[in-house]
Structure 1
């Protein structure tokens, strides 16, 4: 599956990382069986004081597979999982795969409308959800193909006395306590685990052709699309990840699981990597800065995949210096551009390495990253991973652009999706001769390092000038008062669009629009300087911490109507 010609980025590969690899053509769930066989008593999951061994996770996954099959699960049926990072999320995922199903990862924050759309589109017959989400799930069920709901709760895996206290916390936070009954088409997780055997019926899987996952895109361009990812897509990307992190040791690391598993980035770089490499995953179901800092100090994770907003949140905690974060050795940041100031500060605090990577739902997800322990270049997404080819193209003609010129980033490799679920036309627009058009505008320098200039659809055209929001945001992040910043193009009667900056200030800082304007004019061409500033206490984000620029643009357009 190797890249057939010498590429400029190969010269940067350390000797421990080969430009081409042999990837296992095995079902993804076999790695859980293998880790349980080799390390049955080793801790696989740490969750708020509870620990499960690899054997316990594997046995529970087999029970879940057996139970689904007893309800009529057949090969390729879709099983939706609508859970935060909990032991159940891992068990249900691998249990569904053991039973021959295709997993549909579902965001627990979805509204009824969003949930109904995804269930209808995917044709899921089973859904696993939290107890507090049961009313929402029950409401949409009659409009979908869902036949069975499996209900679980955070408290199901909490140790004593947390399991007794949690219902009171739940009532305070969500103003509800749901006590589902195990009857009819509603199935209670604890009852499923108590009553099921591990005797499921193995299903023959073709790793290259059979789907492991339907992962829905964020829907920034119309309705969300189901990305079809095969077992081979996910296995190859996870093996690439392990190869890239060559200094990490098999069965000796622990990975902090803040990134949600219902997002493909967390699913690959935390859950699947941990299972494949027999590492311990430390699960945190909801991002809370205090909880994260205490967990790092106590549990000593060595790896910490994240997003810039997560690292920013930690770095701006007023008591950061009271915590020991020195266990952290390697972090790959994704989902959004990583400001160089954040990278430098985080490395100083932890003593570990934090590098920017890049990927898409359609690529399982990682395609590029900076080298973790060798020279890297701030402001770049790094170089393509093993067996991953990439180029900058004119999206209309697919003609390759000269070095240094901006075009659309295209990628090719074993991690690239099979296509979009039931959307042949969209698939044909995105996949061309084996190349996936990412929708991101970028450039490549003469050394083979890639730069994301911006999303094609986020480019601002003001007065005839092309303005890339990321460039403006990088300047804003250099200002000492700014904690978070996002730039968007908003309608303007004269320029067509104009640049607006949305700002979150650090605690204890104050800055005026005039001061920011002066600062930007010192660092940007006049036409790129924001004409409008809006100060906020927080910015809208996805579950993985990616700032929703499009939502801010939509808000501006609504104001005009």
Structure 2
């Protein structure tokens, strides 16, 4: 039993530590199918599939991949919105012994090429409408097959791609080769996250990491789950680590029904809630904001939801209180990061909530708040330091990046880069970010990546990108720009330039031209000064 650091709040029936079974995600999935075979696993606009039917499709897709030459350890990329084919592809890839490489469907060609080349993916599973984007960079990657998913019945299969249904059909006609998987060593997912170099890096999440975090989530909220009878509102993107684990993997383990929604439209989501009565809703603060401001939201039956999880970005306390008052639900804010599969902390159903904190540690999760300078000395209660974490959910390392891995994983501890405090009850609060990352609508945005695109504009001499407070997105992206002597550019031109090289959520929403930018005595651009200035302006408005 782990002691202290918040574990004193755990009741006797919820373990402070768990024995992670030596099984793969494939095995965990098959256990759930055995228990919940006739329960509904997925819902997609009225079309439902039972756990038994899901396993048949998963095994067929796995065999189909093997028929294309996919073997153990090969990477297969998924670039899909939430849909049944995503779930089939994810578990099918793992069943084949291959590795899932997660790709955001909003990725522009530059980002897409990097992830595909870095991962060495042999196969890409994507939406038919996105296939041309993949084909545009295919020659610069190892991708041999593009499997296209059609969500419309009358869709025409893009030339040069293989229909998803055909891969499943081919798999049904051949035996599935059972692959030996070492849960502790074999990577299950490459979860791409931003990097200090401006290029995303792949967090290697092993089967054991994902099994551990699934069980940690389950046991932490076990009082709220009704195995075999729950319904999870799955509108968080499954390509995002939060959606992957908390919406999909935990729900599959729990025998729940996944309401698969490909994009967040507040009015549509409210109608689905009213009709389908979900019991679980993992979301990000912007989703709660949008639902809160829908007319008559109190009449849509949101009180069917027993647990609303909020993560991905800090949730304003006022928003939490207003949402709960209007809907009759309870929101439990937590914390996670790609490198931890992702969840490490959350407010709980079994101990007092402390709004504004990320709550208590998950079972088997140790943490410390250490000195910002030496990274070793634990700081006293209430003082700021860096949050470092140790547990079975912590990644194996970064894919092909030993130096980045050594900086982030030290003596078994994951250095999060987040500045935090802990109170006398063991509740953690995130007060700032050691890194300069911007979190907008739950998406991580790294200023350097945006700046690199800005510097590609012929009129830009200097640029600094910061996050500024935004009532809806949490933060939004602002760029400060100094133009070259004699050069001209408008805000619209700069934004159009960024749209060509960045995913939509990374594009600066605010542009400010200046004659000079603040610098240190050695000429280093001072991002913090502009961030503080912008925040003060917003706060004073």
Scaled to the shorter chain, the TM-score interval is 0.7 to 0.9
Q: Is the 8 A contact 1:442 1:451 kept in 2?
A: yes
Q: Is the 8 A contact 1:343 1:355 kept in 2?
A: no
| Per-residue deviation, residues 320-359 of structure 1 (Å, max 9, x unmatched) | 2332212111011100011112212222233232111001
- TM-score, structure 2 length as denominator? 0.81
Counterpart residue number, 1:208: 184
Q: Is the 8 A contact 2:370 2:387 kept in 1?
A: yes
Counterpart residue number, 1:405: 383
Give the CA deviation at 1:404: 1.0
1:239 aligned to which of 184, 202, 215: 215
Counterpart residue number, 1:309: 286
Aligned residues: 466
User: Does 2:143 align with 1:186?
Assistant: no
Give the direction of change, closer, same or farther, for the CA distance of 1:411–1:221 in structure 2 (3 Å limit).
farther
Q: Is the 8 A contact 2:289 2:472 kept in 1?
A: no
- TM-score, structure 1 length as denominator? 0.78
Give the direction of change, closer, same or farther, for the CA distance of 1:558–1:84 in structure 2 (3 Å limit).
farther
1:222 aligned to which of 198, 202, 212: 198
User: Does 2:68 align with 1:93?
Assistant: no
Counterpart residue number, 1:465: none
Counterpart residue number, 1:137: 134
Output the CA distance in 1 between the equivalents of 2:17 and 2:157: 52
Output the CA distance in 1 between the equivalents of 2:340 and 2:511: 30
**What is the CA RMSD across the aligned residues, in angstroms?**
2.9
| Per-residue deviation, residues 489-517 of structure 1 (Å, max 9, x unmatched) | xxxxxxxx9998554589xxxxxxxxxxx
1:367 aligned to which of 344, 354, 364: 344
Counterpart residue number, 1:279: 256
Give the CA deviation at 1:148: 0.8
Counterpart residue number, 2:533: none
Give the CA deviation at 1:557: 7.7
Output the CA distance in 2 between the equivalents of 1:114 and 1:13: 43
Output the CA distance in 2 between the equivalents of 1:357 and 1:120: 33
Output the CA distance in 2 between the equivalents of 1:260 and 1:292: 14
Give the direction of change, closer, same or farther, for the CA distance of 1:82–1:501 in structure 2 (3 Å limit).
closer
1:337 aligned to which of 289, 292, 314: 314
Counterpart residue number, 2:419: 441
Give the CA deviation at 1:260: 0.6
User: Does 2:110 align with 1:113?
Assistant: yes
Could you tell me which runs of 5 or more consecutive residues in structure 1 were left unpaired when the two chains were aligned: 156-162, 168-177, 460-468, 474-485, 489-496, 507-545
Counterpart residue number, 1:384: 361
Helix, strand or coil at the partner of 1:22: coil
1:457 aligned to which of 420, 428, 435: 435
| Per-residue deviation, residues 71-93 of structure 1 (Å, max 9, x unmatched) | 11110000000001000000000
Give the CA deviation at 1:443: 0.8
Q: Is the 8 A contact 2:148 2:157 kept in 1?
A: no
Give the CA deviation at 1:257: 0.3
Helix, strand or coil at the partner of 2:302: coil
Deviating above 4 A after TM superposition, structure 1's stretches of 4 or more consecutive aligned residues are: 497-506, 550-561
Give the CA deviation at 1:553: 9.7
Helix, strand or coil at the partner of 2:304: coil
Q: Is the 8 A contact 2:106 2:504 kept in 1?
A: no
Give the direction of change, closer, same or farther, for the CA distance of 1:268–1:384 in structure 2 (3 Å limit).
same
Q: Is the 8 A contact 2:11 2:350 kept in 1?
A: no
Q: Is the 8 A contact 2:370 2:388 kept in 1?
A: yes
User: Does 2:126 align with 1:153?
Assistant: no
Give the CA deviation at 1:216: 0.4
Output the CA distance in 1 between the equivalents of 2:313 and 2:197: 18
Q: Is the 8 A contact 1:327 1:350 kept in 2?
A: no
Helix, strand or coil at the partner of 1:368: strand
Give the direction of change, closer, same or farther, for the CA distance of 1:432–1:499 in structure 2 (3 Å limit).
closer
Q: Is the 8 A contact 1:353 1:372 kept in 2?
A: no
Give the CA deviation at 1:199: 2.4
Could you tell me which runs of 5 or more consecutive residues in structure 2 were left unpaired when the two chains were aligned: 448-463, 474-502, 518-541
Q: Is the 8 A contact 2:62 2:171 kept in 1?
A: no
1:249 aligned to which of 226, 234, 237: 226
Q: Is the 8 A contact 1:32 1:54 kept in 2?
A: no
Give the CA deviation at 1:275: 1.3
Give the direction of change, closer, same or farther, for the CA distance of 1:560–1:142 in structure 2 (3 Å limit).
farther
Counterpart residue number, 1:259: 236
Q: Is the 8 A contact 2:65 2:167 kept in 1?
A: no
Output the CA distance in 2 between the equivalents of 1:499 and 1:97: 38
